[in-house]
Amino acid sequence: MALCVLRGSRFDLMRVAYLDCFSGISGDMFLGALVDAGVSPKLLEGTVAALDIGARLEVSRVVRGGISATKVDVYSHGEKDLPREVFWEQQGHGSHEHAHEHDKTNARQHEPGHRSSRAGMPAPHEHGRGLSEILGIIANSAISRTAKATAIRIFEALGEAEAEIHNTSIEKVHFHEVGAVDAMVDIVCAAVGAEALGVEEWVCSPLNVGGGTVECAHGTLPVPAPATLKLLKNAPVYSSGPKVELVTPTGAAIVKELTRRFDSFPSMKIEKAGYGAGSRDFPSHPNLLRLTIGEVEAALSAPADTVTVLEANLDDLSPQVLAYAMERLLGEGALDVFSAAVQMKKNRLGALLTVLAKPEDAERLAKVIFAETTTLGVRRREERRHTLARRWENVETHWGPVRIKIASMNGTVSNYAPEYEDCRHLAEENHVPLKAVLQEALQQYLRSKQSA
């Protein structure tokens, strides 16, 4: 939990997001809730275009249970997303398919020209995307490093769950060709949209998993499906309402990677709320995911968040290799990476590499340091820190949208800056100086505050 420090004050204000999963959660429902809560549809549409996988989004308003909500649909090569997410154990071997009826309507099975290998199942595809191929597409996309790291962790969680269920390695898990496109769009847009909200903590309600059974390639299985059940380990769940699948593997993976705790609705000053709609409209059950954004008070006596500091002294490493190692560490989810020039024994010039990490990521990042540098040892210690509350606002420049990172202390803005990656992308795309984009973004932000 991140806290901002204010001398002489007993309380901080912390911006949180609360997921009400009373009708479960799926990837498209999460995207709809993000848009309904204020995330720009253009940001998500640009994210899909950056993936360059032949997909697009369609955003619309619908009504579920008498409540107006946002519906987000994914189109792949002109076709609406599959009525299920599909995973293959291993390409060329028996497939394992989840029929997620909650978020992907079965109507396409009855449309003219839609081929089905059997009732309720799609026609087989000749090609599946391996996890390494999918992660490569995400790593090479024009989105922020933080969003890339989040999306990669979500996909890895999906792959690990499938691999464990089928007693195989994660490298052998393949995603159905069209299902992979749908999952990539949902997961990458979820990571980008969650970052754009700029909240400090995600909290989730207990999850309604639904009931009944789900049709898979190897027979009928009870809800939740095996991958969903694996991903929801240690999460509070229950079954209520319609006897259909309400939590999909993608939805479960998003919850697993974004949220840090499960709780009832927190005491907060509500800023906004958004509703994301599922495809089905149940007669007596609003098929919605509610996302509420607000500020909560956190006593300064509460513990600060803990970070792990990893350090290594390097005196025989090329600067180019060091730069690559630092980029790799950031891509793997490090909170921060930096180096400083130091003078080592025998008066040799060297570099001190420092990595800030979440405690749960420390072991994995230490392995990256050993793999990418020449160090023979990594020092490790735990430290406590206080951070300012942060959020994002979007501004429009002559060349396109730019996110502004805003830091605040007890609700008062103390600092703001344009997102460098956004500005660099616009500068390269439009062949203009980077400093011009930075200046324009700042001017637009200041103008918006003066007119507010």
Q: Does residue 301 surpass a pLDDT of 80?
A: no
What residue segments make up the domains of the chain, in order of their start?
11-299, 305-385, 389-451
> Nearest Cα to 129, choosing from 66, 167, 73, 185?
185
pLDDT for 388 equals: 75
Q: Tell me the two tokens of residue 203.
A: 């909290």
C-alpha gyration radius of the chain: 23
Average pLDDT over residues 425-432: 94
> Nearest Cα to 275, choosing from 22, 33, 17?
33
Q: What's the pTM?
A: 0.62
Q: Does residue 137 surpass a pLDDT of 50?
A: yes
Q: Which amino acid is at 43?
A: L
Q: Which of 88-92, 178-182, 192-196, 329-333 has the lowest mean pLDDT?
A: 88-92
Going by pLDDT thresholds of 50, 70 and 90, the confidence category of residue 7 is: very low
Which range among 5-19, 61-75, 148-162 has the greatest average pLDDT? 61-75
Whether the CB-CB separation of 333 and 358 falls below 8 Å is answered with: yes
Partners of 176 in beta bridges:
128
Average pLDDT over residues 142-159: 89
pLDDT for 200 equals: 84
Fold held by 389-451 = Ubiquitin-like (UB roll) (3.10.20)
State whether CATH 1.10.620.20 applies to domain 305-385: no
Burial degree of 261 (CB within 10 A; 0-12, 13-18, 19+): exposed
Q: Does residue 99 surpass a pLDDT of 80?
A: no
pLDDT tens digits for range 385-418: 877 777 788 899 999 999 998 887 656 778 899 9
- Look over the chain and give the mean of its residue pLDDT values, rounded to a whole number: 82
> Nearest Cα to 310, choosing from 369, 390, 263?
369
Whether the CB-CB separation of 111 and 93 falls below 8 Å is answered with: no
